[in-house]
Amino acid sequence: MKKILLLLTLVFTFYLFAQGNDNMKYCNADTINYYEYITGSSFKQIKEREINTYKNGNNVEYLNQKWNESTLEFDNFGRNTYQYNDNGDRTESLVQKWDVIGKKWVNSNRYKFTYNNKNNKEIERSYFIWQVATKKWQHNNRNLTEYDADDNLTSYTSENYITKFDTLGFSSRQLNTYYSNNKLKQIEYQNFDPTLVDWVNANLINYNYDANNLLIENATKSWSTTLNAYVNNNRRTNQYDANNLELESKLEVWNPTLGVFVNKNLIVSIYGNKNTRVKAYQLEWNITFNVWDSFSKTEYFYNANLKTDSALAYLWNITGPWTKWNKTLYTYDLRGSLTNRLELDWNSTDNKYQNRNKTKYDYNKDTFLIAEETFYRWDASLNDYENKSRIEYSCPENKNTGLLNIENDLFSIFPNPTTGNILNAMVLNPTFYEIYTAMGTLVSDGFFEKGTNSIEISRFTKGIYFIKTQTSTQKIIIQ
């Protein structure tokens, strides 16, 4: 429990620090080249490339090739082909790997998508794995989705393949209910028990709103098999000002001994001109003295266009004043596009900030992103970053179809980059999501509820991934 609560504390801290203005757009790139820099130099080496083919604005083929240093040529590695219905919805995704010995493409896995007739909402997603021995597709899992008359998602059921019975069987499901105004009221998570041959409760989340439809409380309960009932777990309550800006967000955890919720942490926001957040404080509850203790604070500074110039983070020092922690600096071009993001950590020994990570962005005349350079983990002994890479996007002129909007104000991922096992997503609206590798392979999917969601990524290898929702896409980096 202590680890979970610490994670929650750090999650909200990272979220406060990550308030940048990364509002960019990706074109339908024909070719994407991936480079790595040689440490200590500005020389870049090509590592791999993606070649995309489009038809009627839809990506119909994705080809991934690795650079071969011996032959100085690209070698095939992976290929995805996609099919669509008349509405432009993807109906099938076929993933193949290159057989180096046989010099041919071989099947790996396949996804099939089904939509309803009312408004083309996805109602079924099936995943198949190619069986080399039998040369047949085996159904591995399936997700089923249902909606009500107002197009609200009411159930999301997962099924997994059961080898013993050679068929799909229930695994887990999510049941949603709504208020009359279609605001989410409750989410119930259940797991299927094959012994009982029935669904068993797992967790329950209740949502409450004020007269302005702003979320004022979400309370989580866990199922107790001993009591055969839901028991309180934690709850978060929010307060807003007259402009509907969040002033406070308090997390409480249930104390079964006292039979009451007890304070855990509190986030307090202060706003300046034009409703820009200028300060955010995080406080931790002191159970010994029953008072709030300061934990961290972040100060935000803006340019004339109300874009974030910098964010300075501090940690509370019980023996003295606030201690500098880190800061993030942002620069923009004349069109307001983000060009540089520099992250620095405070070095108390040298009494100065030192580099940590840096990202640079380049755009074409249509403000489409055409290159991004990422620099990670500053090494003072080398006077350079340990890892440096560059991605270049070849954008066809005046082709805006299939545009991917990267809007962190609607969809925030944190911490990013990450070295942990949990990735968190803050979304404003419920949505499906998919996670792809840099090679375009789908490695995870699911459903985000409004608010903060957690994704288990311990099985992911280090590298670049893209997380895609129904309205936007963001790059995530696992270090």
Alpha-helical segments (H) within 103-163: none
CB of 155 closer than 8 Å to CB of 148 = no
CB of 313 closer than 8 Å to CB of 322 = no
pTM beyond 0.85: no
Q: Which two tokens stand for residue 418?
A: 């990450």
Show the beta-strand stretches assigned E in 272-351: 277-286, 291-302, 308-315, 323-332, 338-347
Residue from 317, 326, 330, 328 nearest 347 by CA: 326
Sign of the CA dihedral running 408, 411, 413, 414:
positive
Question: Residue 14 burial by CB count (10 A; 0-12/13-18/19+): exposed, middle or buried?
Answer: middle
d(CA 87, CA 58): 11
Token pair 């405070």 is found at 346
CA distances from 236 to 113, 218, 262 (A): 36, 5, 11
Residue from 477, 181, 465 nearest 358 by CA: 477
Question: Residue 106 burial by CB count (10 A; 0-12/13-18/19+): exposed, middle or buried?
Answer: exposed
Q: Which two tokens stand for residue 402?
A: 């299939």
pLDDT for residue 23: 59
pLDDT for residue 397: 59
pLDDT for residue 409: 39
Instruction: Please list, residue by residue across 287-320, b when 16 or more beta carbons sit within 10 angstroms of its beta carbon and e when fewer do.
Output: eeeeebeebbbbbbebeeeebbebbbbbbbeeee
d(CA 140, CA 95): 14
pLDDT for residue 15: 40
Question: Residue 28 burial by CB count (10 A; 0-12/13-18/19+): exposed, middle or buried?
Answer: buried
- What letter would DSSP give residue 449? P
d(CA 331, CA 310): 9
Token pair 């620090």 is found at 17
Residue from 105, 23, 34, 94 nearest 66 by CA: 34
- What letter would DSSP give residue 380? T
User: How confident is the prediction along the chain (479 residues), in pLDDT tens digits per residue?
Assistant: 333 333 334 434 444 444 444 557 888 899 999 999 887 777 889 999 999 999 988 999 999 999 999 999 999 999 999 999 999 999 999 999 999 999 999 999 999 999 998 878 999 999 999 999 999 999 999 999 999 999 999 999 999 999 888 899 999 999 999 999 999 999 999 999 999 999 999 999 999 999 999 999 999 999 999 999 999 999 999 999 999 999 999 999 999 999 999 999 999 999 998 899 999 999 999 999 999 999 999 999 999 999 999 999 999 988 878 999 999 999 999 888 999 999 999 999 999 999 999 999 999 988 899 999 999 999 988 888 999 999 999 988 544 333 333 333 356 787 777 877 778 887 777 777 888 887 667 788 777 777 777 788 878 888 888 887 766 677 888 87
CA distances from 63 to 83, 176, 443 (A): 15, 39, 17
CB of 198 closer than 8 Å to CB of 190 = no
3-state helix, strand, coil in the chain (%, to 5): 5, 65, 30
Q: Which two tokens stand for residue 394?
A: 């070849």
- What letter would DSSP give residue 395? P
Q: Is 59 helix (H, G, I), strand (E, B) or coil?
A: strand
d(CA 177, CA 194): 26
- List 138's β-bridge partners, or say none: 129
Sign of the CA dihedral running 2, 15, 252, 321:
positive
CB of 314 closer than 8 Å to CB of 346 = no
